[in-house]
Structure 1
């Protein structure tokens, strides 16, 4: 039976819509998996900082210097035609935000408990969703907002035990890290058609320049050198390259939600290796955050699956 032209056009349009929907879902899952794997590797960040046992700026110098070299090699290999340095507004903003978030994170880990740092940083989905809505009009689904509110309650529970303790400065630095990291994700998401991995080069050079003045990079001793090389040449470059690629395919608020995986795994590695037991409030608040993340991820996955099936 021959189809009329209108029917042919309708079928072609429907087929294009289905193909487009499937392609979008594949890209979403690719971004989700890349970001999740990057965050899992990053969950060893705090453990490596503790194992190196160095002053914050001594470590930051090597972290910045070696990360810039690895990122430059990666960019030259994977993006030979793309410039490694740019001077437009999104690139500069992303670089500066990465510098602030990195310095505040390393200093926070050395000033307060790892569990507190990671749970407080987990507040970033709230900042990411608000910033994305205000500056770029990116709307997050209702389930994401509900998950963010519940996660914030868990973070507040952790902070409740720190206001009167000497760890307050470290907790506030962790909060600064969460805000600036969320802003970086939103900034990078706004130019999702562009690979922002080269930002790691310029930002890391700035971190090394600041740290060589504020610290003494050659003060590392003994095993610290071995841990530092593993940390700066493998863990950090691989994690941040993956986390730079992932947000090109998924919303900024969901990138922030995936970063909560570090909140669960980071204190676990510290506990297993260094026997640093998280506080009761940190465990309770972290459980709320991680449970919410898992439920949110399941709902979003089912929603995407139903939409593709319907199409």
Structure 2
């Protein structure tokens, strides 16, 4: 009877791990979805926001790594090329996304970012010769239609620049996903903390006298702790406990949640064509992730 008992115990443990992983991934999506809200809420110059966000994000990740994991920032693995590349991509991507939300509409930017599964599929085709399934191409066509609907109502110059910066972020995150899959021993928490510090270093020459404005300082600090600290930690810890497709499906949910925060807290009502096109994009991506089994 021992094998049966052990099998039941293993199955119960796997179910618990999946539930915990799902909750952590939902926490990641919720935390990361507040980036548009924090970006809009602060009136500090962009350099000040990026500097403070990076410092407090790195501190939050360091605390979690010290208290809840065995990862140390000084481990040699943190300075190998996969970890350094991930840190560089995170730095470019997160800096681009903050600029995107400053310049473009929240719906437009968040929807472009939601196309990560499509970009990953195209990258696998180009670099690994892995041919996507027909479901992938249908999903990609849906994304194109959705973006066309978004643009149908007319886009300002700020929207176009914001969407371009959001696409830079999307490409960077796709690169992180591909490197992480090829090098599963990459210490993602340490790479995320290093990316935070690099973004602060890049922003340091552009600091202004508004850096220590009490309200702006508090918002930027929370920005780093919530979106980079909690968001990245939840993602790293949770994604290892659920199947990769489930992780990708849950991670995409931050896109529709982002404009909800700015609407509820700041009263920013998105344009009708943005909502309609955004729904088409989100639906296409979710269906692609859910049914693309090849």
TM-score class, shorter-chain normalisation, is 0.7 to 0.9
The answer for the alignment partner of 2:193 in structure 1 is 201
Contact 1:101 1:178 in 2 (8 A): yes
Contact 1:161 1:281 in 2 (8 A): yes
1:263 aligns with 2:263: no
Q: Shift of the alpha carbon at 1:126?
A: 0.9
Contact 1:158 1:285 in 2 (8 A): yes
66, 89, 106: which one aligns with 2:81: 89
* Residue-by-residue CA offset, 1:7-32 (whole Å, 9 max, x unaligned): xxxxx9xx999999998787666544
The answer for the alignment partner of 2:277 in structure 1 is 285
1:72 aligns with 2:62: yes
The answer for the alignment partner of 2:35 in structure 1 is 45
Distance 1:214 1:281, change over 3 A: same
The answer for the alignment partner of 1:158 in structure 2 is 150
What is the Cα-based RMSD across aligned positions, in Å? 3.5
* Residue-by-residue CA offset, 1:74-132 (whole Å, 9 max, x unaligned): 21223335454522121011001100111101111111111111011112211112224
Q: Aligned partners of 2:112, 2:46: CA distance in 1, in Å? A: 19
Q: Secondary structure at the match of 2:178?
A: helix
Q: How many residues align?
A: 289
Relative contact order higher in (CA < 8 Å, ≥ 6 apart): 2
TM-score, normalised with respect to structure 1: 0.78
1:1-311 to structure 2, matched below 5 A, reads: 31-80=21-70, 82-84=72-74, 86-135=78-127, 143=135, 146-161=138-153, 165-216=157-208, 218-219=210-211, 221-248=213-240, 255-292=247-284, 295=287
Q: Aligned partners of 1:34, 1:192: CA distance in 2, in Å? A: 19
Q: Aligned partners of 2:257, 2:54: CA distance in 1, in Å? A: 24
Contact 2:37 2:262 in 1 (8 A): yes
Distance 1:164 1:226, change over 3 A: closer
The answer for the alignment partner of 1:5 in structure 2 is none
Q: Aligned partners of 1:139, 1:28: CA distance in 2, in Å? A: 29
Unaligned runs of 5+ in 2: none
Q: Aligned partners of 1:21, 1:141: CA distance in 2, in Å? A: 31
Contact 2:31 2:226 in 1 (8 A): no
Distance 1:164 1:233, change over 3 A: closer
Q: Shift of the alpha carbon at 1:231?
A: 2.2
Contact 1:125 1:254 in 2 (8 A): no
TM-score, normalised with respect to structure 2: 0.82
Unaligned runs of 5+ in 1: 1-11, 304-311
